[in-house]
Amino acid sequence: MRGNLGATDQTGTIGPKASETARELLSMAESMLGGRLSQAGIRPQEEAVRRYILTQYPLLGRAPSRQEIVAALGLRSADELQRILERLHSIDSLYLDNASQEIRLAYPFSTVPTKHVVRFPDWDEAKPVYAQCAVDALGIPFMVGHNASIGSSCAHCGGPIAIEVLDGAIVAYQLAETVVWVGTSRSDHAATSCCPTMNFFCSSPHVQAWRQPQPDPTGHELNLGEALYLAKGIFEDLLKVHSRTELSTRTRPQSHDQR
Ligand SMILES: [Zn+2]
């Protein structure tokens, strides 16, 4: 079980497992991402920028630059893009770096390196991407519709974690007792509150050891099937249309956003 990940290490396919805890966490999470977008009444152009950034991440291995976004979407100016990015930041769809105002992350992706690296073995055009947390890493294959190889490490001991997702199920993983801790303590932005607590662990005892010194270790330990269910539920629909008015207002002149 501790050898290189491969056919001989498979421990059986793990599909998404809808336990009571996993369902509860999903309903909490829905108000953070997809649900939050709908509730915010996101405008068509904001939705176009959000979608463009997410679709470009795996192709570029990073967020697209502002110039790339303006050019690709035919925006009128950098100021217009800035207003849109600030709005997406305000609803926690992405996170702008305080100092540089660059796109630091757009859930589930991070431009800043993290310990969760996602590769796409069957997708030639794609580059490796960093995921914001363990759940985001598991959600990426569902969002982009491609198989994925996740490389991470135990947040307690640093031991390597490797997970293969094929056709929406985990088909191989090491180490054998891998679990996920899902922290539920959340403030304004997920990136600065609960994300850092959502990690893979090589075993349940290492979750317990890690939790001891944490300031607010509120959350749940999930097995890989439960974590996969949560990740699928959060991210599977994130690239589907969220603006109800996207089609009907395409020719409507854009008014200035007075906020
Ligand atoms: Zn460990």
Q: Where are the domains of the chain?
A: 7-235
Calculate how far, in angstroms, residue 189's C-alpha sits from the geometric centre of ligand 1.
27
The pLDDT of residue 1 is: 38
pTM to 2 decimal places: 0.86
Instruction: Please give the share of the chain, as a percent, with pLDDT higher than 90.
Output: 66
Over 50: is that where the pLDDT of 201 sits? yes
Calculate how far, in angstroms, residue 238's C-alpha sits from the geometric centre of ligand 1.
31
The pLDDT of residue 244 is: 46
May I ask the CATH class of domain 7-235? Answer: alpha beta
Task: Give the other-Cβ count within 10 Å of 18's Cβ.
Answer: 15
Tokens of 102: 């660059």
Query: What are the residues whose beta carbons fall under 8 Å from the beta carbon of 232, sequence distance 6 or more?
Result: 16, 138, 139, 142, 168
Residues with beta carbon < 5 A to ion ligand 1? 154, 156-157, 159, 202, 206
pLDDT digits (tens, 9 = 90+) for 101-142: 899 999 999 999 999 999 999 999 999 999 999 999 999 999
The span from the CA of 2 to the CA of 110, in Å, is 29
Calculate how far, in angstroms, residue 176's C-alpha sits from the geometric centre of ligand 1.
11
The span from the CA of 27 to the CA of 230, in Å, is 9
Calculate how far, in angstroms, residue 239's C-alpha sits from the geometric centre of ligand 1.
34
Calculate how far, in angstroms, residue 46's C-alpha sits from the geometric centre of ligand 1.
41
Tokens of 209: 């050891």
The span from the CA of 133 to the CA of 146, in Å, is 19
Calculate how far, in angstroms, residue 158's C-alpha sits from the geometric centre of ligand 1.
6
